[in-house]
């Protein structure tokens, strides 16, 4: 799995776990909905660390918890 795919799936899984939409996530994270849609639907394969940090801050989790998921094991280079 590529890193961008793992991040995409992690964001989607967190939305499902917390019962929120991408629209709601964009609101609480201060990220435009189009940016999140592009990330989750793989229209944009590059995500910045700042974007991940904003998602983590909005979800009140630290980056360690975001990346502490089996999705991030054995990644391939995009």
> In CATH terms, is domain 3-72 a member of 3.90.245.10?
no
Residue 38 CA to residue 36 CA, distance in Å, equals 5
Quick one: pLDDT band at residue 72, thresholds 50, 70, 90? very high
Domains of the chain by residue range: 3-72
pLDDT: which is higher, 20 or 3: 20
Rg of the chain over all Cα atoms, to the nearest angstrom:
11
Q: In the predicted model, is pLDDT for residue 78 greater than 70?
A: no
pLDDT score of 6: 92
Please return the burial class of 11, using the count of CB atoms within 10 Å of its CB with bins 0-12, 13-18 and 19+: buried
> For 52-60, what is the mean pLDDT?
96
Residues 4-55: pLDDT tens digits? 889 999 999 999 999 999 999 999 999 999 888 888 887 667 788 999 999 9
Give the three-class secondary structure for 2. Answer: strand
């Amino acid at each position: 799995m590529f890193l961008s795919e793992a991040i995409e799936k992690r964001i989607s899984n967190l939305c499902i776990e917390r019962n929120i939409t991408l629209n709601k996530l964009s609101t609480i994270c201060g990220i435009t909905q189009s940016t999140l849609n592009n990330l989750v639907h793989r229209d944009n394969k590059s995500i910045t660390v700042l974007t991940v940090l904003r998602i983590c801050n909005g979800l009140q989790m630290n980056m360690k918890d975001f990346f502490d998921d089996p999705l991030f094991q054995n990644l391939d280079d995009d």
